Amino acid sequence: MTELALDNRTLPDRSTVVGWLQNYGVYLGLAVLLLFNVFFTDHFVSGENFRTQAVQVSPVLIVALGMALAIGTEGIDLSVGAVMALATSVTSLYLGYGPWLALVAALIGGAVIGLAGGSLIAFVGVQPIVATLALMVGGRGIALVLLPQLKDVRDPAMATLGSGSVAGIPYLALIAAALALIVGFVVRRTTFGRRLLAIGDSRPAAQLAGLPVHRVLITVYVCSGVLAAVAGFLATARLQASDPSSLGNLMELSAITAVVVGGTPLTGGRVRIGGTVAGAVLIQLLTATLIKHDLPSSWTQIAQAVVIVLAVYAARERGKR
Partner 1 sequence: MTPWRAAVTAPPDEVLAVTGLTKRFPGVLALDDVTFTLRAGQTHALVGENGAGKSTLIKVLTGVYRPDEGELRHLGEAVTFPTPLAAQHAGISTIYQEVNLIPLMSVARNLFLGREPRTRLGLIDFARMHREAKETMAEYGVHIDVRRPLRELGVGAQQMVALARAVSVDARVVVMDEPTSSLEPREVETLFGVIRRLREQGIAVLYVSHRMDELYAICDTVTVLRDGRLVHTGPLAETGRLQLVSLMLGRETSEVRAEGVTKFSGSHDAGSRPVLSARNLDRRHQLHDVSLDIRPGEVVGLGGLLGSGRTETAKAIAGALPLGGGEVTVDGRPVRTGSAAAAIRAGISLLPEDRKSEGIVPGLSVRENIALAALPRMSRFGLVSEARVDAVVDTFMKRLRIKAASPHQKVGELSGGNQQKVLLARWLAMHPKVLLLDEPTRGIDVGAKAEVQKLIDELAGNGLGVLLISSDVEELIEGSDRVVVLRDGSVVGELTGDEVGADQLLRAIAEAAEEETPRHD
Q: State the residues that interact with partner 1 by CB under 8 A.
A: 1-3, 5-6, 8-9, 189-192, 194-195, 197-198, 201-202, 204-212, 269-270
Tell me how far apart the alpha carbons of residues 255 and 186 are, in angstroms, rounded to a whole number: 19
Tell me how far apart the alpha carbons of residues 169 and 53 are, in angstroms, rounded to a whole number: 11
Q: Which is nearer to partner 1, 100 or 123 (CB)?
A: 123
Q: Which is nearer to partner 1, 194 or 292 (CB)?
A: 194
Q: Which is nearer to partner 1, 248 or 265 (CB)?
A: 265
The least CB distance from residue 270 to partner 1, in Å, is 6
Cβ distance 219 to 192 under 8 Å? Answer: yes
The least CB distance from residue 78 to partner 1, in Å, is 25
Tell me how far apart the alpha carbons of residues 256 and 262 are, in angstroms, rounded to a whole number: 10
The least CB distance from residue 219 to partner 1, in Å, is 11
Candidates 283, 228, 265; CA nearest to 63 is 228
Q: Which is nearer to partner 1, 16 or 191 (CB)?
A: 191
The least CB distance from residue 201 to partner 1, in Å, is 4
Q: Which is nearer to partner 1, 151 or 318 (CB)?
A: 318
The least CB distance from residue 108 to partner 1, in Å, is 22
Tell me how far apart the alpha carbons of residues 99 and 85 are, in angstroms, rounded to a whole number: 17
Q: Which is nearer to partner 1, 219 or 284 (CB)?
A: 219
Strand partners, 241: 152
Candidates 51, 59, 113; CA nearest to 237 is 59
Tell me how far apart the alpha carbons of residues 239 and 247 are, in angstroms, rounded to a whole number: 10
The least CB distance from residue 194 to partner 1, in Å, is 6
End-to-end CA distance of the chain: 13
